[in-house]
Amino acid sequence: MNNNRSSNNLEQQLTDTSSVISDISLLTTNTEQESFISNSVFSNDLSSISTANTSVNQESIIGSGSNNGNGNGKQLVITLEEALPSNFQDMYSPDTLIDVLPNGRPKFTKRDIIDWELNDIRALLIVDSLEPNWNNQIPVISSRENIFKIQYLPLDSSDNRIIQTLVESDIYRETNFHINFRVKSATYIVKTARQRHVRMLKDLYHIQDDLRDTELANTPFLRYELRNIVENFLLNLGVESQCRSDFKKNCSVVKKQKRQLYGLDNMMFIDDDGTVSNRSDAKTLLKKAIINSANNCGSVNVNRNNMTFKLSQEEKAKLWYDVQLNIYRRLELDWQPDNIR
């Protein structure tokens, strides 16, 4: 029942990609809603990217789920260690395996990003083939926390199925990204991967005729291409999660600095009738004057009742830009922060 509800919800989202918006309106600092931030990683116009088999529709989504049973009601239960791959040679392109970690994976698969290790494991559990000893079924992972699941994504999967698998995965589920954001992220990644796939085949076979692009776009991804799609989805959600976390912290710091600037940290709250308990009239008048002065300043919005500083849209945009810039540089990503509008 839950799976059907999830699929119906996803169908609704995927049939209207024009309505996709960023989930940043859910991001709050203390009790203030920070709703200004645009999509940090996927701000490009997705309508400018087109491939032959990436149009998303209801018919291709319905019934694309994987079977977890074996027909007789029994489920195969395995440990997490048994579920994870032990060999990564054909999961990455040869040029990325020059500099590897002790486990054989490229060094770029280890990132200093919030909750990275947990979600990296979840990404590895999206598999393109079933192990022979799984008896043609998808096992259940034995875990007290129930935080891991295996998802089957064959190499010949349609782009719609790849998008659906990414959206419905547990990758960064604790961040509670809106489904619109996950759909937009997955769609962008799959579309750009399909474009690279077509270019690669044209270069490999010396094809110059653009009329064959549709034919080439319908060929399956190679294994390392599909792994790259999954890990790009992981990276983009991880970076977005880190940006939002740092942004909330920085907003709190700036608001605290503003309170200190206006000398409000140690003052008591003003009641609805304008009185201040245990304070002299002089201090009450002083505090009212400070509030009025702060409210007259374009960069500060002070609520008279609860003394909450609200940052202006311009201040929040600048903070968001700085957060993105710092994180992209720290992670050595060649991404560009959102323009300050």
Tens digits of residue pLDDT in 131-181: 999 999 999 999 877 889 999 999 999 999 999 999 999 999 999 999 999
Q: Give mean pLDDT, residues 202-208.
A: 95
Q: What percent of the chain has pLDDT over 70?
A: 65
Q: Bigger pLDDT: 49 or 201? A: 201
Q: In this predicted structure, what is the pLDDT of residue 2?
A: 46
Q: What are phi and psi of 246, to 5 degrees?
A: -65, -35
The one-letter amino acid at 191: K
Q: In this predicted structure, what is the pLDDT of residue 260?
A: 81
What tens digit of pLDDT does each residue of 264-304 get? Answer: 555 544 444 555 454 555 555 555 555 555 555 545 455 54
What tens digit of pLDDT does each residue of 222-249 get? Answer: 999 999 999 999 999 999 999 999 999 9
- Sketch the domain layout of the chain as residue ranges: 2-26+42-242
Q: In this predicted structure, what is the pLDDT of residue 55?
A: 43
